[in-house]
Amino acid sequence: MTSADVRAPKKAKKGQGGRAAVSGWLGSTLEYYDFSIYASAAALVFPTVFFPSENPAVAIIASLATYGVGYVARPLGAFVLGHFGDRYGRKKLLVFAMLLMGVSTFLVGCLPSYAQIGLLSPAMLVVLRLIQGFAVSG
């Protein structure tokens, strides 16, 4: 191997590492904020809105189970979105993942209650939580 074959690695643009660290911190902060708000709502509001039951403990457990569903979709989302991030660019994928997370969070707030549409309401809540977990892993 000659010295011409060994190339020095490209230098990163000035300030790029700091911007990446700040954007990573901001994304994690928004993620944990969203999950903490959802956990509070799952414990306080969702049992009566989405899971009316004769036994309040069952309603709370079912409501908190939807919180856990967000973590179930993460490995699949990491696999799929990681592939597309490598293929099409991580910046585009980050924008897509944030948009997907924001839309699904907005739609959780727009869901009708169990009294309005019955079992479809908690089913839609679970689907939106799966989408949120999928998006967060990107």
Domain boundaries, given as residue ranges, for the chain: 19-136
C-alpha 105 chain-centroid distance: 9
C-alpha 129 chain-centroid distance: 8
Q: Give tens-digit pLDDT for 10-57.
A: 555 666 777 778 877 887 787 788 888 888 998 999 999 999 888 889
Q: What is the DSSP letter of 8?
A: P
Asked whether the predicted pLDDT for residue 82 surpasses 60, the reply is yes
Q: Is the separation of the CB atoms in 101 and 39 below 8 Å?
A: no
Q: Give tens-digit pLDDT for 85-121.
A: 889 988 888 889 889 988 998 999 999 999 999 999 9
For residue 119, what are its two tokens? 């079992």
The phi, psi pair for 15, rounded to 5°, reads 85, -5
Tell me what pLDDT residue 125 has: 94
